[in-house]
Structure formats: C-alpha cells, structure tokens
Amino acid sequence: MNLKSIYTASENRYAAGDAMYARCGRSGVLLPRISLGLWQNFGYDTTYEKSRAITHYAFDNGITHFDLANNYGPPYGAAEEVFGRLMRDDFAPYRDELFISTKAGYDMWPGPYGNWGSRKYLFASLDQSLRRMNLDYVDLFYIHRYDPVTPLEETLQALVDIVRMGKALYVGISRWPLEALKVAYDYLTARDVPPLIYQGRLNLIDREPQEQGIVDFCRQKGIGFISFSPLAQGLLTDRYLNGIPEGSRMSRSGSLTADRLTPEMISYLQRLKDVADSRGETMSETALAWVLAQQGVTSVLAGASSVEQLRDNIKCIYSAPFAGGEL
Ligand SMILES: NC(=O)c1ccc[n+]([C@@H]2O[C@H](COP(=O)([O-])OP(=O)(O)OC[C@H]3O[C@@H](n4cnc5c(N)ncnc54)[C@H](OP(=O)(O)O)[C@@H]3O)[C@@H](O)[C@H]2O)c1
C-alpha cells in the first residue's frame, strides 16, 4: 500500500462544536446541520479519488452523517460499493463516529421482489446494502417512498423487525404523505421503534413539506426533519446564472433538466444573488441557511461534486438570521 494514501482524520474535526450539531427531534442523536448525500458524484461515473476527497473533507470538518440508498450510482448499488471501499480504506477506525443511512423503496433489481415496500424486498435490500458498504449495521434505515399498494403495516413491521434484529439502529420515513406518516408514527411508536427522522425535499423554491403540514407534524411528535436537495440540485447556487456550464448536473444528468431555467427562475436566482450579496454570502450558503432557519429542520442533506463546493456550503452553519420576507 502507498503509505501516503493512508487517511487520518483531522484532529480539529469537531472544532465547530455546538454550531455544527442539532438534536434530531426528541431523540438522543445529534446530527450535523449539514450532512453529505451520496446520490450523485459517488458512482462509477466519478473517480474514486474525487469521491474520496469529498468524504475526507466532510468528516475532517465534522460532517458525521452520510446518506445513501440502495440505488444510488450509477449503476444502482455503486455508491454503496464506493462507500464500502471508503469504509475499508479510510473510515473503519471511525465507524462509531459516523452516522450512516441507507434506503430501499425504488426499483433496485428485476422481478417482483426488487421494488416498493414489501417485507421481502426491504430485508433482502438491506442485507445487500450492508454487504456493499462493508458494514454490520446501518445507523438509519429508510423506507424510501410511499407504496400505495402494500399494506402500510407490512412495511412498518419490517422496519420494526429490522431494528429488533440489530441491522439498523433507527428507522426513517422518506417522501410519505402526511396521512401515511401519521399511521407510521402511531404504528412504530406503539412498538417502541419511533421514527427518528423524516426526509423530504424542502428548499427555497419547493416548500411542499411545510405546505402539507409534514414539518409541523414532525416537530409536534419529536421526529427530526432532514431536507434533501436543499439547493434544488444546484439551481440555488451561482451555477446557472449565466447559462448551463459544461460538467454541471443540468448539462449531464436527467434529474435536473434545462426547462427549469425559465425567465421567472432566472430572475428569482438574481434576487437570491442580491440577498446573498447583501448578507456577504454565496448563494448556496444563503439557500442552505434559509432551510436550516426553518423551524423543525434538523439538517440539510447537501450534495457536492467537489471539495470546493462543500467548503463553500459548510459555512451555512454560521449564517445570520433572516429578516422576515427577505426571500
Ligand atoms: N429521499 C429521496 O428521495 C432523495 C431524493 C434526492 C436526494 N436525496 C438525498 O439528498 C442528497 C442531496 O441531493 P442533491 O445532490 O440533489 O442536493 P443539492 O445540495 O440540492 O444539490 C447538489 C448539487 O448542487 C451543485 N452544488 C452544490 N454546491 C454547490 C456550490 N457551492 N456551488 C455550485 N454548485 C453547487 C452540485 O452539482 P454540480 O456541480 O454537479 O452541478 C451538487 O452535486 C442526495 O445525495 C441524497 O442523499 C434523497
């Protein structure tokens, strides 16, 4: 082994102290206010060294929470495999300092048992995820989406049993409508496995979890809330102020399409830039800080395609409060 490649975490990784961590609902868990999502930039379309550098920078700066899913890649499973290699190469000595989540719920393998919310799928998928990630357990296992057909009780009992078997310490709910979330809360809590956290898309231009009462419900019940795509996949940064740059997510992946850049959106982005300038911040910093300022939000689950982006984004934990109506 090349000795230079051995990773030792920074001794200053917890220097931000209280500014960095928030209690997740009414649980015993503290999560970093900015967490790292591995949906993109951790598949086999990215070099290992680049993915590696991003995770090193994150952990060296106190980001202890990494979020995955069975189907992150490309191809499906690749992000967990890359993360498993990182665990083996770098993070094994730090396992107890990390809070690692994965999910199942979207299409993962062919046939009737590789999708949605059956007990069969969830058990098999989590076992696969653990193998790919070189882990004995995950800290948090999510049901990734609402399945309108499988009885909710089947999905929820699978989550309870997964915790009882020690394969996950906590369970979370992602993208369920409010009424189903209420059923989940009652079912899981009655079995002493209360949902730790809800994962939903909340950002300056998509406030659905607030509008639908999900964030308020979580707050009332002591469930944490983590926002995915808090930068709207990069829209709420300076990335698209002057067109679509080569290499950006909009230029290369199907998840962020050019039709989002309407004249209204461009003028909104200009306004965001003015507000960010007046606060002495970058647009991404302001956009993330706005999400963190919303009542009931535990953490933002941000993505990054470079260390520089993460360095920029992490400053959001120190942002000033917002004056009403600023954005
Ligand atoms: N539960 C769910 O269903 C669900 C769905 C989606 C995501 N998620 C989770 O949420 C995580 C984050 O999602 P996301 O990647 O869409 O988050 P995001 O933070 O909204 O977008 C991240 C992307 O924005 C761009 N970016 C970030 N910082 C920037 C900066 N400072 N300046 C310019 N551009 C910047 C980068 O894209 P480029 O550089 O490539 O342009 C980066 O990959 C995922 O990894 C996943 O863990 C969950």
Instruction: For ligand 1, say whether the CB of 226 is within 6 Å of any of its atoms.
Output: no
* Model-wide pTM > 0.95: yes
Mean pLDDT across the stretch 277-297?
98
Q: Give the closest residue (by CA) to ligand 1 atom 44.
A: 37
d(CA 312, CA 293): 18
Q: Give the closest residue (by CA) to ligand 1 atom 24.
A: 234
**Ligand 1 center from residue 284 Cα (angstroms):** 11
Q: What is the mean pLDDT of the chain?
A: 97
Instruction: For ligand 1, say whether the CB of 303 is within 6 Å of any of its atoms.
Output: yes
Q: Which two tokens stand for residue 314?
A: 């992490």
pLDDT for 167-194, tens place per residue? 999 999 999 999 999 999 999 999 999 9
d(CA 45, CA 305): 12
pLDDT at 53 over 90: yes
**Ligand 1 center from residue 187 Cα (angstroms):** 32
H helix intervals, 61-116? 78-86
Atom number in ligand 1 closest to CA 235? 24
Q: Give the closest residue (by CA) to ligand 1 atom 8.
A: 228
Mean pLDDT across the stretch 143-155?
98
DSSP one-letter code for 320: P
On whether the CB atoms of residues 264 and 207 are closer than 8 A, the answer is no
Instruction: For ligand 1, say whether the CB of 43 is within 6 Å of any of its atoms.
Output: no
pLDDT at 86 over 80: yes
* % residues pLDDT > 90 (the chain): 96
Residue 6 pLDDT level (bands cut at 50, 70, 90): confident
pLDDT at 323 over 90: no
Atom number in ligand 1 closest to CA 228? 10
Backbone torsions φ then ψ of 87, nearest 5 degrees: -60, -45
On whether the CB atoms of residues 232 and 204 are closer than 8 A, the answer is yes
What pLDDT is recorded for position 1? 47
d(CA 310, CA 313): 5
pLDDT at 5 over 80: no
What pLDDT is recorded for position 65? 98
pLDDT at 3 over 80: no
Mean pLDDT across the stretch 306-325?
93
**Ligand 1 center from residue 37 Cα (angstroms):** 7
Instruction: For ligand 1, say whether the CB of 71 is within 6 Å of any of its atoms.
Output: no
**Ligand 1 center from residue 163 Cα (angstroms):** 29
Residue 325 pLDDT level (bands cut at 50, 70, 90): confident
Superfamily covering domain 17-318: NADP-dependent oxidoreductase domain (3.20.20.100)
Instruction: For ligand 1, say whether the CB of 301 is within 6 Å of any of its atoms.
Output: yes
Peptide bond into 245 cis (omega under 30): no
Atom number in ligand 1 closest to CA 69? 47
- Angle between helix 283-293 and helix 263-279 axes, rounded to 10 deg: 90
Q: Which two tokens stand for residue 129?
A: 């995820």
pLDDT for 98-116, tens place per residue? 999 999 999 999 999 999 9
Q: Which two tokens stand for residue 201?
A: 């898309």
What pLDDT is recorded for position 13? 98
